[in-house]
Amino acid sequence: MKKHIFYYNDPLHDDFAGMNINIKRLPENYTYLPRSRIRRAAAWILHHCIATPVSYLFLKISCGQKIVGRKKLRPYRKEGFFLYGNHTRSAGDAFTPSMAAFPKKPYLVVSPAAVSIPCLKRVVQDLGAMPVPDSLELHKKFLSAIRTRADRGDVIVIYPEAHIWPLYTGIRPFSATSFTYPLETGKPVFTFTATYRKRRPFGVKTTVYVDGPFFPDASLPLRQRKFDLRDRAYTAMLARSNLSSYSPNRFIFRETQTEPMEADLAEASALS
């Protein structure tokens, strides 16, 4: 596997997905909860009969992935829950929630970029993507859809780091904003943390650890509960991330974006 060096100056907003997608603004009539029975049936078939088997084979063959701790989710499958994960892969992060939540279909809170590719837009929507809007009216629809999904006992997946850092073995700081959703809906929070180790004879082997459940601390003032919930989720993910023993990539902090110096170029050449 080719090694890379990534330079960053903002761990909250820098993104290294490398997708180069022309992000389109969501239309004001965007539908988060399809009403058509035919479309809902087609979406069920697409996810359970096609996407789930493909996801399983891809994750097993490409990275030998296994999930540790799925049994913690079993008591809460009927009532639903929130899953928070570290964002370190593109396809892997899209596929893993289906394996963790199986046999339930997860609904992923995503960037509008995920539904900006015309030929794949409908497919991504039917697989459970819930893009975050940038307008007030759509945001009301989005929040309503989150509450409806939670009331139905669905699994809602959030990557609080928001941006992909390929195979990064730490946990980046993230805000408590998204932890408002479980507070408002009364659903438990679980974390799932992808860790990495060297795979022989080449590549990276992935182990995903599930932790939780985490519930709001009712003894705290209401405004502090989401921060406490965020801190406990972050601590669990950080502890699991320390189990990684290999990373093919390096992430180097820089206060400003500048052209790589000769020493940097030499180091990058040595890693490749």
Q: Helix count (H) and strand count (E) of the chain?
A: 8, 9
5 three-state secondary structure: strand
The pLDDT value given to residue 121: 81
pLDDT at 106: 97
**Residue 256: what pLDDT?**
63
At residue 271, the pLDDT reads 41
Instruction: Provide the pLDDT for residue 266.
Output: 46
What angle is formed at CA 206 by the lines to CA 54 and CA 200, rounded to 5 degrees?
A: 105
Q: What's 53's domain CATH number?
A: 3.40.1130
Q: Which residues contact 61 (CB under 8 A, 6 or more apart)?
A: none
Distances from the Cα of 103 to the Cα of 47, 97, 169, 202, angstroms: 10, 11, 29, 32
How many Cα atoms sit within 13 Å of 238 on the Cβ side? 9
Domain of residue 157 covers 4-271
Please write the tens of the pLDDT for every residue from 91-132.
899 999 999 999 999 999 998 888 877 778 889 888 999 999
State the pLDDT at residue 1.
56
Task: For the chain, list residues with pLDDT below 50.
Answer: 258, 261-272
Q: What is the reported pTM? A: 0.88
Enter the tokens of residue 161. 């780091």
| Count of domains observed in the chain | 1
